[in-house]
């Protein structure tokens, strides 16, 4: 990623901005009587098109920013105030107004993660931005308070839907803190904003990997982002092909539909998310042991045990002339991942129907039951009968392969397709294969997710899959513009009105989002 500045558009400029500013100014003025904001920041939500549950194995993913966002209207209160404070008002009445003081000596604010409050997410963005300011401008910010602020928050990213509303909020906050304190004429680079926000939610005990932040900040109209985690975090835009047709009926759009099933990751983690993380780490180490490979990995990684990408790199360093870790190259990656899939069949296939007991896994790793339990089963809370190493490893390697195949399809940019239908079929097939793998191999789908995908496919979607980890949340559907209303109507009639017969029109409107790939973080000077 190049050192590109986060764009800031002047609303007083006679030239129109390329992005429509959010309708937030009047809302701010009504909330803070007699005051007008100085500027606006906004960051979009995101949807992952392909690449589910492979980021914590550090394989590449293919998300895009979407046409819903979290916006802040901000008024700067003089930094010379004796009692600098931040006042927060949210358009959503379920989020009560908040006000907190800023330390006069320039010290950091504190966050109590045990208290569930929406203002904690604001404080996360403030804290990482403050850290950046102290590092870059120590003489100004080490012993002096930050500016006080009045902030109005407006968001239409559904909370708890898996579309990264918290990331969008934190990115908007961090940008606002920087601009308020170093001046609207001072540029902020996208790389700096990404680096400071990537670990922001760690203060709340949420260990995310960077995909959400990279997508929200680096989103680009008409493009998906090929996000790579190694050797460094990068986000490369790939443009969706454009197909000429009367009234643009072949235009590529995505229908994002919320099942309205909320996955409680804390309560279900021991049998769902946490367990999958453990299973893929165990799978990497068992494969290494079975293949006689010394697993090389980052000692600072989770579990300090290595992941499936580490195994792939270690395998090829051991058994081929290729001594360099995979750098994300598509052709090389496709070859290596196909080899990994054949190894999974050979080494783990015999256990496909039975899984691994604790004793079998310990034997495969050449350690005692007690040592295996201590090293793998007590790091995070998990519950299981057997470890499904074959299924989890096959999903991760095949899903990583689908990401590369999807990028190759996009690289054609329409040139190798006889018609738009060819692109929809090829990209849609990969999405459908991803859903099948999530459902059958990774077991992170649900009856609701499966039903929603089937309804959409029968009514004009070319590719339908879960997004945002699964076990509830949202689905995403690749749909040409001419089929969008048909897909929406089918989902409303066959899913929402059957499962939720008393659902309101307002809730229906919030449940379904129609989006093209959208632009990333930006701001507006008022």
Q: Enumerate the active-site residues.
A: 212
User: In 10 A of CB 7, how many CB atoms?
Assistant: 16
Q: Which helix (H) or strand (E) holds 524?
A: strand 522-525
Tokens of 470: 């699964």
Q: Which residue has the tokens 């569930």?
A: 116
| Three-class SS state of 402 | helix
Q: Tell me if residue 278 falls in helix, strand or coil.
A: helix
Task: Give one DSSP letter per residue of 205-239, joined into a string.
Answer: T----SHHHHHHHH--TTEEEEEE-SSS-EEEEEE
Output b/e per residue, 421-435; b: 16+ Cβ within 10 A: ebbbebbbbbbbbbb
Q: For residue 45, what is the enclosing H or E element?
A: strand 39-50
Would you give the DSSP letter of residue 38?
S
d(CA 54, CA 60): 7
**Crossing angle for the helix pair 447-457 and 484-491, to the nearest 10 degrees:** 140
| Distance, CA of 348 to CA of 230 (rounded, Å) | 26
Euclidean distance between the first and the last CA atom of the chain, given in angstroms as a whole number: 29
Half-sphere exposure of 169 toward its Cβ, with a 13 Å CA cutoff? 23
Phi-psi region of 328 (alpha: psi -120 to 50; beta: other; left: phi over 0): left
Q: Which own/partner contact pairs does 30-36 have at CB distance under 8 Å and 24+ positions apart?
A: 31/89, 31/152, 32/75, 32/87, 32/89, 32/150, 32/152, 35/75, 35/150, 36/75, 36/526
256-290 in b/e form (b: 16+ CB < 10 A) is: bbbbbeebeeeeebeebbbbbbbbbbbbbbbbbbe
DSSP state of 12: T
User: Cα(182)–Cα(37) distance, rounded to whole angstroms?
Assistant: 17
The answer, yes or no, to whether the previous bond of 231 is cis (omega within 30 of 0) is yes
129 to each of 85, 104, 195, 235, 292, how far by Cα in Å? 16, 17, 10, 22, 46
Q: How far apart are CA 30 and CA 448, in angstroms?
A: 41
What does the H/E/C string look like for 352-400? Answer: CCCCECHHHHHHHHCCCHHHHHHHHHCCCCCCCCCECHHHHHHHHHHHH
Contact 171, 521 (CB under 8 A): yes
Find out whether 38 and 194 touch, Cβ atoms under 8 Å. no
């Amino acid at each position: 990623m190049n050192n590109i500045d986060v764009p800031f558009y002047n609303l007083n400029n006679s030239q129109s901005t390329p992005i429509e500013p959010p309708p937030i100014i009047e809302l701010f003025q009504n909330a803070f009587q007699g005051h007008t904001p100085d500027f606006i920041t906004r960051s979009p939500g995101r949807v992952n098109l392909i690449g589910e549950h492979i980021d914590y194995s550090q394989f590449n993913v293919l998300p895009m920013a979407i046409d819903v966002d979290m916006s802040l209207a901000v008024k700067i209160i003089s930094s010379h105030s004796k009692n600098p404070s931040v006042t927060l008002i949210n358009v959503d009445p379920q989020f009560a107004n908040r006000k907190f003081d800023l330390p006069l000596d320039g010290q950091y604010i504190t966050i109590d993660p045990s208290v569930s409050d929406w203002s904690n997410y604001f404080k996360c963005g403030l804290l990482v931005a403050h850290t950046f300011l102290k590092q870059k401008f120590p003489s100004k910010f080490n012993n002096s308070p930050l500016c006080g602020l009045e902030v109005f928050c407006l968001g239409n990213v559904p909370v708890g839907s898996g579309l990264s509303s918290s990331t969008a909020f934190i990115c908007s906050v961090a940008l606002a803190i920087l601009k308020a304190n170093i001046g609207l004429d001072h540029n902020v680079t996208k790389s700096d904003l990404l680096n400071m926000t990537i670990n922001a939610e760690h203060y709340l005990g949420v260990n995310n990997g960077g995909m959400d932040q990279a997508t929200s900040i680096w989103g680009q109209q008409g493009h998906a982002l090929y996000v790579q985690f190694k050797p460094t975090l990068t986000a490369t835009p790939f443009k969706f092909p454009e197909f000429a047709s009367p009234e643009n009926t072949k235009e590529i759009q995505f229908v994002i539909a919320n099942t309205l099933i909320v996955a409680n990751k804390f309560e279900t983690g021991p049998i769902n998310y946490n367990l999958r993380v453990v299973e893929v780490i165990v799978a990497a180490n068992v494969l290494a042991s079975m293949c006689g490979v010394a697993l090389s990995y980052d000692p600072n990684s989770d579990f300090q045990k290595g992941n499936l990408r580490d195994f792939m790199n270690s395998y090829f360093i051991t058994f081929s002339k290729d001594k360099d870790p995979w750098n994300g190259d598509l052709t090389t990656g496709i070859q290596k991942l196909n080899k990994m899939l054949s190894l999974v069949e050979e080494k783990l296939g015999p256990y496909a129907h039975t899984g691994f007991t604790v004793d079998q896994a310990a034997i495969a790793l050449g350690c005692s039951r007690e040592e295996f339990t201590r090293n793998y089963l007590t790091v995070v809370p998990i519950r299981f009968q057997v470890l499904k190493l074959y299924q989890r490893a096959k999903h991760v390697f095949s899903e990583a392969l689908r990401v590369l195949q999807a990028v190759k399809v996009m690289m054609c940019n329409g040139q190798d397709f006889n018609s738009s239908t060819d692109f929809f079929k090829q990209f849609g097939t990969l999405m459908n294969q991803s859903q099948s793998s999530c459902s059958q191999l990774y077991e992170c789908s649900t009856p609701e997710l499966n039903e929603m995908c089937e309804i959409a496919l029968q009514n004009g979607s070319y590719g339908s899959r879960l997004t945002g980890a699964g076990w509830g949340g949202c689905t995403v559907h690749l749909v040409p513009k001419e089929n969008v209303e048909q897909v929406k109507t089918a989902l409303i009639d066959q899913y929402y009105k059957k499962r939720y017969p008393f659902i309101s029109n307002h809730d229906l409107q919030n449940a379904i989002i129609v989006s093209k790939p959208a632009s990333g973080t930006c701001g507006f000077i008022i």
